[in-house]
Amino acid sequence: MRTDRAKAPGQQPPLTQEALVGAALLVLERDGLDALSMRRVAAELGVQAPSLYWHVRNKEQLLDLLADALVADAVPPPREGGWREQLRAYCHLHRRHLLGKRDAARVVAGRFNLGPSLLVILEDQLDRLREAGFPAAEAALTSYLLGNYVAGFVLQEQSPLSAAEAVGQATRTEVVNAARDHLQQLPADRFPNLVALAAELSEPDMEDRFAFGLERILDGLATLLEPAPGTR
Amino acid sequence: MRTDRAKAPGQQPPLTQEALVGAALLVLERDGLDALSMRRVAAELGVQAPSLYWHVRNKEQLLDLLADALVADAVPPPREGGWREQLRAYCHLHRRHLLGKRDAARVVAGRFNLGPSLLVILEDQLDRLREAGFPAAEAALTSYLLGNYVAGFVLQEQSPLSAAEAVGQATRTEVVNAARDHLQQLPADRFPNLVALAAELSEPDMEDRFAFGLERILDGLATLLEPAPGTR
DNA sequence: ACCTGAACACCGTTCAAGT
DNA sequence: ACCTGAACACCGTTCAAGT
């Protein structure tokens, strides 16, 4: 085997943080997060693993940098329409963006690092929110809420449904069917709702689920911004 | 060293899935998720690592079981007050419950396995939602939304703020202060909102953030259930 | 300043072999 | 049926040593 070295033909590009992140992006996309090791990133650069530690404190820091790189090429929606339309577009784009990159949500979710790319997005979002009339504190809270919602949702969405699927021993629809059957065969006296809603619960139309949650949040933000007539 | 064996004085309790899960819970609470290895769980049971594979397909399956065990002792809120109060209480309890167990959100979030304990909670939630007048499909979507929100939120909340904190080289307030300073020193012409909102963005009053998002969601569900007067 | 070799202390998982 | 020993193919990280 011995594929460790001589893999990258030209290793003239100097080893920098950006080079590490580029290699990490490549490994992530090609091999997935579980296979993303320091050794493999190093091999991608034609270098030994310990060399990376000169440019990066540890793997966690590399993952922080990777997370920021994953949102670097996100494209904000056009600045037209009301704040609702803009936030909706923002979230749908963000979801699509994460879904387009392998294991992206697993890297991004639960990682609070204010990298340069994220700062640009955050600034843009806050600006739109302020312009829409959101007070400062509420704008910050809203931005956090939306980012959290999208990342958390896609995390679920990108995760294997079960250990069986993760290991490739069952396809996604097999798992879904098994789940529905399982729910339907529960004792109807103890779990009437699960039995009745077996299909809705097990068949994950993620598009619908995402839109549902997002519209609830947008509605909630609307009543915050424009309280219902007669409330004040 | 050799602490592998003879650690558990009585290994008479037969090796079962429940025993594995119990040991895994113990290791998780004591050593954290990063230290939760098959070998360590086995050691906890006075047994060799390969033995576990007789009772469990692989580590993923053990984590699935662990995730369900983590919500097994969740206590649903009292069944009094309107649906809003009940859902609010549900989510706050769920958050507190996850926060109370080390790395719990990291195990639970992004893992969709319908274990027995989760089924009980789901049934109870659906029942309350149906009783409150939610149509079947909306009840299922709402339950998913809330579960996703809480798990995703706590995942962020329980995660280290940066690689520095993870490695114990900086305290949480040090990281927060550094983040605030970083935001404040950004060029004010390009990042006016980040500079202005530096404090709000970097000082994470997680209690507030959680409540804010939750109230928005509840408001959104309210307008779904009881459309604003004059809308129809 | 930057990279390598060798090593340490681990991993998850398989599989023949034991009982 | 259930557990062990030994092994395979890996990990992240440190550190002296090289250039």
* Statement: the pTM of the whole predicted model exceeds 0.75: yes
The model's confidence at residue A148, banded by pLDDT at 50, 70 and 90, is very high
Name the residue among B58, B194, B222 with its Cβ closest to that of A119. B194
Task: Say if residue A116 is in the same domain as residue A134.
Answer: yes
Does residue B22 form part of some domain?
Answer: yes
Does residue A2 form part of some domain?
Answer: no
Task: Say if residue B51 is in the same domain as residue B117.
Answer: no
Task: Say if residue A124 is in the same domain as residue A197.
Answer: no
pLDDT at B12: 56
Does residue B229 form part of some domain?
Answer: no
| Domain final residue pick, B108, B138, B156 | B156
The runs of H, that is alpha helices, within A56-188 are 59-70, 83-99, 104-108, 116-131, 136-158, 163-166, 172-184
pLDDT digits (tens, 9 = 90+) for B68-121: 999 999 999 999 999 999 999 999 999 999 999 999 999 999 998 899 999 999
Amino acid identity at A10: G
Task: Say if residue A113 is in the same domain as residue A83.
Answer: yes
Does residue B12 form part of some domain?
Answer: no
- Give yes or no for CB of B30 within 7 Å of strand C: no
D11 closest protein residue (CA to C1'): A37
Contact yes or no for A156/B87 (Cβ under 8 A) = no
Per the listing, tokens 């579980």 go with A34
pLDDT at A203: 83
pLDDT at B137 over 70: yes
CA angle B167, B171, B173 (to 5 degrees): 140
Q: Which nucleotide is nearest to A60 (CA to C1')?
A: D12
B-chain CB neighbours of A142 within 8 Å are 212, 216
A-chain CB neighbours of B163 within 8 Å are 57-58, 60-61, 63-64
Q: CA–CA separation, B123 vs A193, rounded Å? A: 6
| Domain final residue pick, A7, A39, A69 | A69
B23-36 burial, b for 16+ CB within 10 Å, e for fewer?
bbbebbeeeebeeb
Min Cα separation A46/chain B (Å):
26
Does residue B3 form part of some domain?
Answer: no
Task: Say if residue A147 is in the same domain as residue A80.
Answer: yes
Per the listing, tokens 């604003």 go with B228
- Give yes or no for CB of B34 within 7 Å of strand C: no
Does residue B172 form part of some domain?
Answer: yes
Name the residue among B114, B163, B216 with its Cβ closest to that of A64. B163
Q: At what angle do helices B206-225 and B83-99 cross, to 10 degrees?
A: 150
Measure the N-to-C terminal CA separation of chain A; round to a whole number of Å: 74
Task: Say if residue B119 is in the same domain as residue B180.
Answer: no
pLDDT at A170: 78
Residue A154: which of A102, A78, A113, A76 has the closest Cα? A102
Q: Report the CATH number that the domain containing residue A31 is assigned in CATH.
A: 1.10.10.60
pLDDT at B229: 63
Does residue B1 form part of some domain?
Answer: no
| Domain final residue pick, B156, B185, B204 | B156
> How many domains are contained in chain B?
3
CB contact under 8 A, A57 and B163: yes
Q: Report the CATH number that the domain containing residue B90 is assigned in CATH.
A: 1.10.357.10
Task: Say if residue A98 is in the same domain as residue A41.
Answer: no
Radius of gyration for chain A, computed over Cα atoms and rounded to the nearest angstrom: 22
Q: Which nucleotide is nearest to B36 (CA to C1')?
A: C11
Let me know how many helices (H) and strands (E) chain B has, helices first. 13, 0
Mean pLDDT along residues A91-115:
96
What is the maximal distance between C-alpha atoms in chain A? 74
Residues ≥6 apart with Cβ < 8 Å to A10 = none
Q: How far is CA B97 from the centre of its chain?
A: 8
Task: Say if residue B100 is in the same domain as residue B145.
Answer: yes
Task: Say if residue B63 is in the same domain as residue B102.
Answer: no
Task: Say if residue A29 is in the same domain as residue A83.
Answer: no
Residue A158: which of A215, A92, A75, A101 has the closest Cα? A101
Q: How far is CA A39 from the centre of its chain?
A: 25
- Positive or negative, the CA dihedral B50, B54, B55, B61 is positive
Task: Say if residue B152 is in the same domain as residue B190.
Answer: no
The model's confidence at residue B228, banded by pLDDT at 50, 70 and 90, is low
Does residue A12 form part of some domain?
Answer: no
Residues ≥6 apart with Cβ < 8 Å to A198 = A180, A183, A184
pLDDT at B230: 56
Q: CA–CA separation, B211 vs B213, rounded Å? A: 6
Question: Which of A150, A197, A210, A225 has the most B C-beta neighbours within 10 Å, making it the best mutation to test the interface with B?
Answer: A197
Q: How far is CA A160 from the centre of its chain?
A: 14
Q: Which nucleotides of D are covered by protein (CB under 7 A)?
A: 2-6, 10-16
Name the residue among A179, A191, A220 with its Cβ closest to that of B123. A191
CB contact under 8 A, B162 and A113: yes
Residue A98: which of A111, A89, A109 has the closest Cα? A109
A window 6-45: Cβ near strand C (< 7 A): 14-15, 42
User: Residue A189 is part of which domain span?
Assistant: 160-224
The model's confidence at residue A40, banded by pLDDT at 50, 70 and 90, is very high
Q: CA–CA separation, B108 vs B150, rounded Å? A: 10
Name the residue among A127, A194, A219 with its Cβ closest to that of B122. A194
Distances (CA, A) of A57 to A44, A60, A61, A129, B185: 19, 8, 6, 36, 24
B window 8-27: Cβ near strand D (< 7 A): 14-15
Task: Say if residue A219 is in the same domain as residue A170.
Answer: yes
Radius of gyration for chain B, computed over Cα atoms and rounded to the nearest angstrom: 22
Mean pLDDT along residues A179-201:
95
- Give yes or no for CB of B15 within 7 Å of strand C: no
B119-126 CB contacts, 8 Å cutoff, 24+ apart: B119/A186, B119/A191, B119/A194, B121/B71, B121/B74, B121/B76, B122/A194, B122/A201, B123/A190, B123/A191, B123/A192, B123/A193, B123/A194, B124/B76, B125/B90, B126/A193, B126/A194, B126/A197
Q: CA–CA separation, A134 vs A152, rounded Å? A: 24
- Give yes or no for CB of A156 within 7 Å of strand C: no
